Amino acid sequence: MRNKLADVLIAKGIVDTKVLDAIRTVPRHLFMDSSFEGHAYQDKAFPIAADQTISQPYTVAFQTGLLEVEPGHKVLEIGTGSGYQTAILMQLKAKVYTIERQLELFKKTNLFFKKMGYRPKKVIFGDGYKGLPEVAPFDSIIVTAGAPEVPKALLSQLKIGGRLVIPVGIDDQIMTLFIRKSEKEFEKKELGSFRFVPLLEDKN
């Protein structure tokens, strides 16, 4: 079923062979509630706990490809959710730091990683808007929720040459790639329309 899902993603334009291999390897059904398990290899988003969703495989593959992950890269993920995207990044041998602001999901997914033997570098309960200054700079940062605006902290936590992939917008989002060219310069590319649950800021 995973091979078939990879074929569907190829037909939709995903070409990155390492990303496709990761999709063929990570058991998405285990990241989902048992009531949806039978649908895990459809190219669709599904509800997880706390009114959130596990991203559509096409979206996961598209965003992951834009990160250009190399083994050993230090990657920050905002929005751990089910942990599926985290696992795809780990399959690419990234050192993953992942932040989740919903306590219920943080606890559930953290426990799941331990049970499954998945080892992200760190799973953090907190507000991803702020990034993770104590671990920065990162080779890449992926935001898996729709951001009304681009958090400045995330741009500032990229290495030179580092990449931020973030869906920007309120109802619909434009997938936006930033590449840090120098201390002050960023190249920006807009890469199509997507729909995500919102990135929420903790104002306290």
**CB-nearer residue toward ligand SAH: 16 or 127:** 127
The answer to whether 55 is a known catalytic residue is yes
Distance CA 55, CA 145 (A): 9
DSSP assignment of 10-73: HHTT---HHHHHHHHHS-GGGGS-GGGGGGTTSS--EE-STT-EEPPHHHHHHHHHHHT--TT-
- The least distance separating ligand SAH from the CB of residue 197, rounded to whole angstroms, comes to 5
**CB-nearer residue toward ligand SAH: 69 or 99:** 99
* Phi/psi-derived region of residue 81, left when phi > 0, alpha when psi is between -120 and 50, beta in every other case: left
**CB-nearer residue toward ligand SAH: 119 or 181:** 119
Sole binder of ligand SAH in the list 58, 97, 129, 194 (CB under 6 A): 129
Structure tokens at 89: 């990044």
Binding mask 64-103 for ligand SAH (x = CB under 6 A): --------------xx-xx-xx-------------xxxx-
Distance CA 102, CA 146 (A): 15
Among 113-121, 132-140, 177-185, 195-203, which window interacts with ligand SAH (CB under 6 A)? Answer: 195-203
Active-site residue (options: 35, 55, 82, 193): 55
Q: Are 117 and 87 in contact (CB under 8 A)?
A: no
Helix (H) or strand (E) holding 134: none
Contacting positions for ligand SAH (CB under 6 A)? 52-55, 78-79, 81-82, 84-85, 99-102, 105, 127-129, 144-145, 197, 199-201
